[in-house]
Amino acid sequence: MSFIDRVLQPPSYGWQDANGDLIKPSRKQLLAEALSRMNIFKTKKNWTAFVGWFWVLCLLPFLIVFITNYLTWYGVLTIIAYGAFMSTHGTIWYHRYSTHFAFKFKNKFWMYFTQNLGIKVIPEEIYVVSHHVHHAKSDKPGDPYNAFGGYLYCFLADTNHQPIAKDMDEADYNRTTKFVKHTGIYVNSYAQYQKWGSV
């Protein structure tokens, strides 16, 4: 198996069947996998999957209060503008810079500013490492957000398909850290990775 095939934690239902075809898990399998991977009581290595959905649930009441009590046409336009802004931020920070290192910042201030322009619920390692796999295996088994898997397959990808493998050897872990070192995030040592299961 090549590095790109083993850098992500495979789901319990697997990526492909004996014929090499994409396994399309049922809704029940997808939800069970998500709940299992968010269970921090099972292992603390599930913290990245847990924290992303934890922050979404923490922010949800504010959205509900806003929609039920304060929504106006101006608010709708603000939501649309913020959505477009966040999409642009995702493209600039996560995709163009963090994944493809398509440009360089003039200084650390602008990098920090760009990195923190919006509310972040997904750590860089979840997006960046899996996006390299996505480009290598686009729409094939092993693609962490394979469109042929269906809506829920893609919706739960950050939990079920995008986390890095938890059992890498030191050489593979060091290769994985090279995907994100330029983003300025703190990078765990191999011993810390073995404890926490994340970069």
Per-residue model confidence as pLDDT tens digits over 96-139: 999 999 999 999 999 999 898 888 888 899 999 999 999 999 99
**Percent share of the chain, pLDDT over 70:** 100
Q: How confident is the model over 43-52, as a mean pLDDT?
A: 94
- Return the closest-CA partner of residue 161 out of 20, 2, 16, 44: 16
**Model pLDDT, residue 46:** 96
Q: Give the pLDDT of residue 85.
A: 84
pLDDT at 1: 75
pLDDT of 193 above 90: yes
What is this structure's pTM?
Answer: 0.89
- Predicted confidence (pLDDT) per residue in 136-182, tens digit: 999 999 999 999 999 999 999 999 999 999 999 999 999 999 999 99
Distance, CA of 73 to CA of 100 (rounded, Å): 38
Cα 142 to Cα 138: distance, rounded to the nearest angstrom: 8
Q: How far apart are CA 48 and CA 159, in angstroms?
A: 8
Mean pLDDT is lowest, of 2-11, 91-100, 113-122, 185-194, for 113-122
